[in-house]
Structure 1
Amino acid sequence: MSKKKRSKNKNQATTPAPSSMSHNPTGIPGYEILQYQKGKSENIYYKKIEYTLSTNFGFQDYDSKTLLTPVVSSFFIKAKEDVLRICTTAFVNQTQDILSFRLFYNYTLSNIGEPQISIYIWYYNIDNSATTYSVNSFDIYFKGESIVNFDMYGSVNMGETKIGVKNIKKVQVFLINGDPETSRGTTTTVQTHNS
Structure 2
Amino acid sequence: MCAQTIQRICTPITPPGTIINPENPKIKATPLLCGNEKFTFSLGSPSREQLPPLIKAVYTNTGGVAIEAMVFIDSSIPVTNFSVYQNYTTCSTGAPQLTLYICPFLADGNPPANPETDSYNLYPLNLGLKIQTPNGQLIRSIQIFLWNEDPETSRGTVTTVPPPTE
Contact conserved, 1:30 with 1:105, CA < 8 A, in 2? yes
The question of 1:131 aligning with 2:118 is answered yes
Whichever of the two has the greater Rg, that structure is 1
TM-superposed CA distance for 1:170, in Å, is 0.6
TM-superposed CA distance for 1:63, in Å, is 2.9
Instruction: Please provide the CA RMSD for this pair.
Output: 3.1
The question of 1:65 aligning with 2:52 is answered no
Q: Structure 1 residues 179 and 188, CA, compared in 2 at 3 Å: closer, same or farther?
A: closer
Q: Which runs of 5+ in 2 are unaligned?
A: 1-10, 33-37, 105-110
Contact conserved, 2:85 with 2:101, CA < 8 A, in 1? yes
Contact conserved, 2:48 with 2:114, CA < 8 A, in 1? no
The question of 1:54 aligning with 2:40 is answered yes
Query: With structure 1 as the length reference, what TM-score do the two structures score?
Result: 0.62
Query: With structure 2 as the length reference, what TM-score do the two structures score?
Result: 0.71
Query: Residues 17-65 of structure 1: CA distance to partner in whole angstroms, max 9, x if unpaired?
Result: xxxxxxx95331111023997xxxxxxx9786542211113x2xx1331
The question of 1:85 aligning with 2:56 is answered no
The question of 1:186 aligning with 2:157 is answered yes
Query: Residues 119-139 of structure 1: CA distance to partner in whole angstroms, max 9, x if unpaired?
Result: 001122225234310111111
Q: Structure 1 residues 67 and 97, CA, compared in 2 at 3 Å: closer, same or farther?
A: same
Higher RCO, Cα 8 Å, sep 6+: 2
Give aligned pairs, total: 144
Pick aligned residue for 2:128 from 120, 134, 141: 141
Alignment of 1:1-195 (within 5 A): 25-34=12-21, 50-51=31-32, 52-57=38-43, 59=44, 62-78=45-61, 81-123=62-104, 124-126=111-113, 128-143=115-130, 146-147=131-132, 161=134, 167-178=138-149, 182-192=153-163
TM-superposed CA distance for 1:111, in Å, is 0.8
Taking only the aligned residue pairs, the percentage that are identical comes to 27
Using the alignment, how far apart are the partners of 2:161 and 2:114 within structure 1?
35
Using the alignment, how far apart are the partners of 1:125 and 1:180 within structure 2?
15
Using the alignment, how far apart are the partners of 1:126 and 1:103 within structure 2?
18
Contact conserved, 1:125 with 1:179, CA < 8 A, in 2? no
Using the alignment, how far apart are the partners of 1:193 and 1:108 within structure 2?
20
TM-superposed CA distance for 1:88, in Å, is 0.9
TM-superposed CA distance for 1:180, in Å, is 8.1
